[in-house]
């Protein structure tokens, strides 16, 4: 059995390879005129109903000041909105607009089609191996905090 550092090294290799062979082509092919960071923000908001700026900045791992600029841009595009908390107006919740939800759904659909086109280059046995490995890895990674 490998030790944790060897497993970590393998996961890093896998992460970089996935980014290079699948994620980067998806981002380059995306029809939306958004940066990878803006796409990350949309995806994070798509997983949550509404989040505070602090929560969003923490999730994306950047300062609130930097996140404010990104959110300002997305608000100006009509993709994201700011709403004041009903109980405490000092708290501002960030969420996707209907247009933002539609855009995110379209981006995800397009991304799946792009990845599927790459996977079409594999034979059935290789595809079955990747499918099983991806399902197992996803299940295990969900156990991480």
What φ, ψ does residue 85 adopt, rounded to 5°?
Answer: -65, 135
The two structure tokens encoding residue 142: 């969900």
The CA distance from 141 to 135, in Å, is 10
Residues 64-82: tens digit of each pLDDT: 999 999 999 999 999 999 9
Length of the chain: 145
What is the topology classification, in CATH, of domain 4-141?
Arc Repressor Mutant, subunit A (1.10.10)
Q: Domain limits of the chain?
A: 4-141
Residues 97-145: tens digit of each pLDDT: 999 999 999 988 988 988 898 899 999 999 999 999 999 999 998 998 8
The two structure tokens encoding residue 19: 């980014």
Q: What is the reported pTM?
A: 0.79
The C-alpha angle with vertex 27 and arms to 58 and 33, in degrees rounded to 5, equals 85
The CA distance from 6 to 17, in Å, is 16
């Amino acid at each position: 059995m490998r030790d944790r550092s060897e497993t970590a090294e393998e996961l890093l290799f896998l992460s970089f390879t996935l980014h290079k062979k699948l994620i980067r082509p998806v981002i380059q092919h995306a029809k939306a005129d958004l940066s990878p960071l803006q796409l990350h923000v949309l995806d994070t908001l798509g997983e949550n109903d509404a989040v505070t700026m602090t929560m969003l900045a923490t999730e994306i791992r950047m300062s609130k000041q930097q996140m404010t600029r990104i959110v300002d841009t997305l608000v100006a595009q009509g993709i994201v909105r700011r709403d004041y908390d009903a109980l405490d107006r000092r708290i501002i919740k960030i969420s996707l607009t209907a247009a933002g939800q539609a855009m995110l759904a379209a981006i995800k659909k397009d991304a799946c089609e792009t990845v599927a086109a790459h996977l079409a280059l594999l034979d059935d046995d290789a595809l079955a191996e990747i499918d099983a490995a991806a399902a197992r890895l996803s299940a295990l990674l969900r156990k991480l905090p």
